[in-house]
Chains A and B, each alone.
Chain A
Amino acid sequence: MPNILVVEDSPTMRQLISFAIKRIPNSHVIEATDGVDALKKLSSGKVDLILADINMPVMDGLKLVSLVRGNPAYKSIPVIIVTTEGAEEDRKRALSIGANAYLPKPIQTQELIRLVNTYLAH
């Protein structure tokens, strides 16, 4: 059963992403409201994939990605960035820090499910 950590400060987006992810058979969604909350959730259970926003209070998505990549226990977890930042330089920056994929909002549910399935299969 894949555990997917959704890191999003917006309850609307968290619910929308969770709704989409639940369509992946046997998947389980863990919700976090920011980077710090995400690190807590990471330490308390097995996570197979992280979906993270960039602009969040307390700790943003890019800081979270760099901390995840720097931690031997989490560095192999795939991270997909889901953000309103659609500029090419933002995308390059996120990928250079260690994100596996970059999905600009508003998201296409099929594309999100396709990406999640791709990285869960890795």
Chain B
Amino acid sequence: MEKETGFVGKAEEFLQMFKKGEEFTKELLKENEKLRYRIAQMEESIQRSADEARIKLYENRIGLLEEELNSLKKRFRQVEEENKDFASKYIEVEEENNNLANLYVASYQLHSTLDFSEVLRIVLEIIINLIGAEKFAVLLIDEKTNELVPVSAEGMAVSDAPKVKIGQGRIGSVAKEGESFFSDDLAGAAELNPLEPIVCIPLKIKEHVIGVISIYKLLTQKEGFTNVDYELFNLLAGHAATAIFSSKLYTQSERKLTTIQSFLDLLKEKPRK
């Protein structure tokens, strides 16, 4: 009986111990679960903070790239503007170059000869081909009569061009004042009026007027004057005057020289007889 009671007591004791062990194991499992949860939370938090750091990094980089892009866009716009500037300057330089070539050729041709009629022909060529006039006349001052006398014309007969007293009418005034005249209406009247040119340019050596160029009609395709036309008019006013004057003097002196030479030859021949 006693033995039996001792066995039961030990079994109960064992059962108690087992139950405690079970409870302990359960607590351990619970604790383990909590710890796992904590670890998962911590891992998640670490992951989140890593992502945030990466996002921050990316945002910084995006910011920098955007700044760079904006600065590149700005530079691109500047270069584009500079390109436009260069293109327009190039066109201007080209135009200037062409204008200078025109002026050079005109000046070169005017001074290429000392033959009076050749110089007049070159003046006509310049007015027709470079300025684009269809009807015009060149008038020179006759010092004896103080009159402007036509010496050459294009698109009209020389005889149709007027003889004008200095100071008389539009043409005479240009010769007197030495100032160019440009009509507001370049188309001019339908009927040619030799006393009413649309453009009249004095031919001047310094301030001394030797004649005028009187333009009555422009070529159909010539709608108006450009800067180079005014430059050509200036060139004609000066260079054509010098070329005409010097060639006239040269021709006169040549003629005189021939006369003198003939006299000398005559004088040389007489004593022989």
Binding site for B on A (CB under 8 A): 10-13, 15-16, 19-20, 84, 86-87, 104-106, 108-110
Q: How far is the CB of A10 from chain B (nearest CB, A)?
A: 5
Q: Which of B60-68, B123-131, B195-203, B251-259 contacts A (4 or more CB under 8 A)?
A: B123-131
Q: How large is the interface on B (under 10, 10 to 19, 20 to 34, 35 or more residues)?
A: 20 to 34
Binding site for A on B (CB under 8 A): 94-95, 98, 101-102, 104-106, 108-109, 112, 122, 125-126, 128-132, 134, 219-222
**A108 — nearest CB in chain B belongs to which residue?**
B98
Residues of B contacting A109 in the complex (Cβ-Cβ under 8 angstroms):
98, 101-102
Check A87 against B220 for contact (C-beta < 8 Å).
yes
Known A-B contacts A11-B109, A109-B98, A110-B98; the reply to A16 vs B221 at CB < 8 A is: no
Residues of B contacting A13 in the complex (Cβ-Cβ under 8 angstroms):
125, 129
What are 23 pairs between A and B in contact, CB < 8 Å?
A: A10-B125, A11-B109, A11-B122, A11-B125, A12-B109, A12-B129, A12-B130, A13-B129, A16-B102, A16-B105, A19-B101, A19-B105, A84-B129, A84-B134, A84-B219, A104-B219, A105-B128, A105-B219, A106-B222, A108-B98, A109-B98, A109-B101, A110-B98
The 9 residue pairs across chains A and B that have the minimum distance between CB atoms:
A86-B221, A109-B98, A106-B132, A86-B220, A12-B125, A104-B221, A16-B105, A12-B109, A10-B125
Which among B95, B112, B129 is the interface contact of A16 at CB below 8 angstroms?
Answer: B129
